[in-house]
Amino acid sequence: MPAAEFGHAGRGWRTEALPIVLLLLAPLLWLYPVTVGGRTALPVDNLAQYAPWDASAAQFGFDAGPHNALISDLVLENYAWQRFVRASVRAGELPLWNPYQFAGAPFLATGQASVLYPPAILFHVLPLPMAYGWYLLLHFALAGVLAYALVRGLGLGSTSALLAGVAYQGALPLTASAVFPMIVSGAAWLPLLLLAVLRVGTPGVAPARWLCAGALAIGMQLLAGHPEVAAYSLVVAALLGAWQLLAAAVQHFADLRGQLLRAATLSAMVVLGFAIGAVQFLPQLEAVRSSFRTQAPTLDTVRGWALPLRHVFAFFAPNIFGNPSVHGYWDLFSATWVAGKPVDWGIKNFVEGAVYLGALPLLLAVAAVVQQAMRIRRALGGETWAQIFSLRIFFGLLALLCLAFAFGSPLYALAYYLPGLSQLHTPFRWMLPFALCVAVLAAYGLEDQIAHSRTGRFGALAAFCIGVGSVLIVAVLLMRVFFAQLAPVFDGLVQRLALAGSAFADGRMFFSFTGRWVLQAAVVLAVSGLAVMLLRAADATRGMLRIASLLAVPVFVAADLALAITRFLPANAPEMLQFEPPVIAFLRSDRSAWRYTTYDPEGSKPLNANSGWLFDLQDVRGYDSIIPLQYVNYMQQLEPQSELQYNRIAPLRSAAALGSPLLDLLNVKYVLTRSLIDLPGYTLVHNSDLRVYRNERVLPRAFVLATGCAFAASDVTEALLTHDLRHFLMLEHGAVLATAPSRPPADCDPQAAEITSYANSEVRIAVQVAAPAYLMLADSFAPGWRAYVQGAAGTAPIEVPVLRANANFRAVLLQPGAQSVRFKYSPDAVKLGGLLSFTAVMVWLLILSGSWWTHRPPAEAASGAARVARNSLAPMGFNLLNRAIDFVFAAYYLRVLGPGAAGDYTTAIVLVGWYEIWTNFGLNAWLTRAAAQD
């Protein structure tokens, strides 16, 4: 049994149970207030910095400002998403389309709401504000347990595996990403994917089971909805697979068949994983291709967004460049706390610059690589290749590569030119796989320390930690004593270091701020050494004392990492989420179809992007990573968009935009502002926490224009600027229309149409026209929208083409008469992806059950119950499974073809079947006769 086990021979389940329980509970160190404590992890207080909530901030105890202003995305994006998903599901509707942003946009396709991700069910069964803490707890625990399983799969002991688990689940790149739950969700599955890659092809292991495990990990990452994490994970898994195949080829070059089988199994794992996640991946791929991100930034631009070199100091002092949740600093001269605004002088913000993995795991990882290098130097003959191609070397090289990517070295070109990765703007997220590499290497390092404690070669790492920590403490204290002589040096640093001049008043403040964090890092180093020294007592003790000695390092690392993140996450009362400001009550009193925007020349962000969605108000702005390119182009004509780099459609800044016909066409009835609007066509209708102006020139949401008012344009941009689209309808180039309207503007007044039903993915309109005309719906166009026109009652609806009108909207051509028009969003990518995912899940179940059946224990195979299962229950189960597959395929083709086309398809199949019977009867008779004659 490995030296690092908690228990003794014959107690295997106890050996695994204790560390797994500890890993399940460890995230409570920083998540207790937002789980058991009954608070919410949502930064509700951040809403209080914006109008209209700022007027009522004191009522909820938020008048002191937000606890952490950096993580507003959690409430502005994720909470709004999950609230929408929850409402849609409860209404019996799949949230395919979002009518609340960007004048309408695909929703499920954007992915980041994790709509189809199974663990996201927590957002449906728990009170939504409370679900976030439990959701994060689940995934941090999952990350730890899977990292533990990965290291145990490498053959290391449970103590070392426990260290890897706590190091990965508490790593700051992961925990600081709590503001993006989909990133945490995806990263939690990375250890399982790597374990599956390692186990496939291992002698004595059923490859089918690990094929299923790896496919499950890939599928879950895709369903979690953050393609960047899935892409990085696949790159890492591919590198590990290639390393394994290369190592086997060098050491066992004769086993070509085995290595080809292993490569085929790994390829099948990836294909099956993508198929499982196809219901999310295919729509997301379609959405990305039509988004404003299609124009990838240059390699140099992306490298410029990487971590700066000076950020290496954050590997040992996580708050050295500031922390948005620390409101002040300790003055080391007066020994008092100086309250104030958070100090921030980092080139990257705290989330993007989160690199802290714990000083001890990092040092243990370095020690593990050094130890392996020494083994390579001592190896003889054939052992040299085995040592070179060891997994320690792989994880060490991978860690260096991730580090090079995260810091934007020229090596980042290797990632940039991979298919699809040129559109990713966040090289610093390579710290996530780096964190797992360090966790695994730290486990190897701890294993070495335990082994050395038995052989007597022990104490170098402990001595180093204690020594360096002591030297740093003494150095800071000496600087404090002789600061009068050193003051010019620190004043010069404030002037020379980027952003330091705006964060620190002078060198004295700079020393107090940084000195405190250096002291904390020094204490952590010294205590790390003491924790390593406790390992020496493990072999000399038994029972609980032995367990305590072995737990010293993992427990200390868990506490260190918890300390680094605890202050960062909020823990708020959720009541403000239910508060309805007066301006919102006024807006909601208007039950007609309309949109709003904000006029914000001074940049105060009234009713900040997405916040109106919390009250089901439809906005022409929006905040999302995937914004349709057509809408961006439209809004660029209204006013230059200055916030696209932040994934936002911006508020209006100029008076000229308020008078644009493009704004009227968007059905913008209300403009909210803190400023005065003194322009024709705007009437002040409400003035409380915000001013509300009504746009008197607003066009209806749905209206009719005569065909003579329509034209086709080859240059959309020019047409938007030269034609008054309040009176004309511009269709895509290629439509069978003239290039200019045949009627004058006076004869092209839009006639409002009645919207009889307005749901997220379906709109019904009643309209009557005396001559052929176009019905335009001022909602964004997207592939997947269908339109059905029904004339007199009792007649069958007829599908008509949906046209892109006025560069962004939907229109259909109507014939004379009274009719009902139904717009329905039914994207083919979702239907095809759903079919592929269902089929993949069925295949996954078949492979898993087949592997279990093949490798079941002999005693179980010979039992009477097994024979009953084999002869009756199994065939029944497979027959039901087959029927379920037939049912889903039938539902799919009925959905795609429709009733009429499905009938034609069935008739064709029957006729072909008859023809085959007739032809085969004659052919078979002739073949039988010819064969008899021979």
Q: What is the pLDDT of residues 421-456, one digit of tens each?
A: 888 889 999 999 999 999 999 999 999 888 876 554
Specify whether 143 is located in the same domain as 46: yes
* pLDDT band at residue 380 using 50, 70 and 90 as cut-offs: low
What is residue 10's predicted lDDT score, i.e. its pLDDT? 38
For the cut 90, the answer to whether the pLDDT of residue 255 exceeds it is no
Asked, for residue 602, whether it belongs to a domain, the answer is yes
- Asked whether residue 435 falls in the same domain as residue 540, the answer is yes
Confidence grade of residue 1 (pLDDT, cut at 50, 70, 90): very low
Domain match, 481 and 589 both:
no
pLDDT digits (tens, 9 = 90+) for 149-166: 999 999 999 999 999 999
Taking 90 as the threshold, does the pLDDT of residue 458 lie above it?
no
Same structural domain, 305 and 429: yes
Q: Which pair of tokens denotes residue 287? A: 């959405």
- Give 375's pLDDT tier (boundaries 50, 70, 90): confident
d(CA 773, CA 708): 8
Q: Is 329's pLDDT higher than 60?
A: yes
Say how many C-beta atoms besides its own lie within 10 A of residue 824's C-beta: 18
- 121 and 161, same domain (yes or no): yes
pTM over 0.85: yes
Question: Quick check: 359 pLDDT over 90?
Answer: yes
Give the model's pLDDT for residue 912. Answer: 72
pLDDT-wise least confident of 268-282, 506-520, 873-887: 873-887
Residue 718's pLDDT is: 81
| Three state DSSP letters for 202-226 | CCCCCHHHHHHHHHHHHHHHHHHCC
- Whether the per-residue pLDDT at 517 is higher than 70: the answer is yes
Ramachandran quadrant class, 891 (left: phi over 0; alpha: psi -120 to 50; beta: rest) = alpha
Mean pLDDT of 851-872: 62
Q: Do 359 and 377 belong to one domain?
A: yes
Instruction: Choose between 691 and 738: higher pLDDT.
Output: 691
How do residues 739-798 score in pLDDT, each as one tens digit? 678 888 888 999 999 999 999 999 999 999 999 999 999 999 999 999 999 987 778 889
Structure token pair of residue 260: 């080809």
What does the pLDDT average to over 285-300?
Answer: 87
Is residue 314 in some structural domain? yes
CA atoms within 13 A on the CB side of 366: 10
Whether residue 860 is predicted with pLDDT greater than 90 in this model: the reply is: no
**Cis upstream peptide for 308 (omega within 30°):** no
Domain end marker among 503, 532, 566: 566
Does pLDDT of 457 surpass 70? no
Q: What is the pLDDT of residue 542?
A: 64
Average pLDDT, the chain: 88
Q: What is the pLDDT of residue 867?
A: 62
Domain that holds residue 609: 580-692
Residue at 206 is within a domain = no
How many C-beta atoms lie closer than 10 Å to residue 855's C-beta?
11
- Is 106 within the bounds of a domain? no
Residue after which a domain boundary falls, among 657, 692, 727 = 692
Q: What string of H, E and C letters represents the secondary structure of 555-609?
A: HHHHHHHHHHHHCCCCCECCHHHHCCCHHHHHHHCCCCCCEEEEECCCCCCCCCC
Q: How confident is the model at residue 7 (pLDDT cuts 50, 70, 90)?
A: very low
Q: Give the pLDDT of residue 9.
A: 36
Q: With respect to residue 571, please indicate whether it lies within any of the assigned structural domains.
A: no
Residue 792 lies in a domain: yes
**363 and 307 in a common domain:** yes
The phi-psi region of residue 581 (left if phi > 0; otherwise alpha if psi is between -120 and 50; otherwise beta) is beta
Q: Is residue 383 situated within a structural domain?
A: yes
Q: Return d(Cα 302, Cα 299) in angstroms, integer.
A: 5
Mean per-residue pLDDT, 653-660: 94
Whether residue 738 is predicted with pLDDT greater than 70 in this model: the reply is: no
Give the number of domains in the chain: 4
Residue 734 confidence (pLDDT): 56
**CA angle, 19 as apex, 18 and 25 as ends, to 5°?**
95
Q: What is the pLDDT of residue 926?
A: 64
Of 14-28, 29-43, 92-106, 682-696, least confident by mean pLDDT is 14-28
CA distance 895 to 94: 15
**Are residue 779 and residue 814 in the same domain, yes or no?**
yes
79 part of a folded domain: no
Alpha-carbon distance values, 641 to 290, 301, 598, 613, 648 (Å) = 18, 20, 14, 21, 8
Q: State the Cα torsion 30-31-33-39 to the nearest 10°.
A: 140
Tell me the pLDDT tens digit for each residue of 518-548. Answer: 999 999 999 988 888 877 666 656 656 667 7
Residue 902 has what pLDDT?
A: 65
Q: Identify the domain boundary among 825, 841, 874.
A: 825
Q: Which 3 state secondary structure label does DSSP give 677?
A: coil
- Let me know whether 45 and 124 are in one domain: yes
Percent of the chain residues topping a pLDDT of 70 = 88
Percent of the chain with pLDDT over 90: 69
In this predicted structure, the answer to whether residue 381 has a pLDDT above a threshold of 70 is no
CA distance 405 to 415: 8
pLDDT value at residue 762: 96
Q: What's residue 230's pLDDT?
A: 95
Instruction: Clarify whether residues 452 and 535 are in a common domain.
Output: yes
Q: Which pLDDT band holds residue 11 (cuts at 50, 70, 90)?
A: very low
For 63-91, b where at least 16 C-beta lie within 10 A, e where not — what string? eeebbbbbbbbbbbbbbbbbbbbeebeee
CA distance 264 to 243: 15
Q: pLDDT tens digit string along 81-118?
A: 999 999 999 999 999 999 999 999 999 999 999 999 99
408 and 443 inside one domain: yes
| CA pair distance 43, 70, nearest whole angstrom | 9
Nearest to 221 by CA among 126, 129, 294, 142: 142
The string of pLDDT tens digits covering residues 881-931 is 666 666 666 666 566 666 666 676 677 777 777 777 777 776 677 667 666
658 and 525 within one domain: no
Residue pair 200/265 in contact by the 8 Å Cβ criterion: yes
Q: Are 617 and 596 in contact (CB under 8 A)?
A: yes
Determine which of 470-479, 671-680, 732-741, 868-877 has the lowest per-residue pLDDT on average: 868-877
d(CA 147, CA 557): 15
Q: Please say if the pLDDT value at position 606 is more than 70.
A: yes
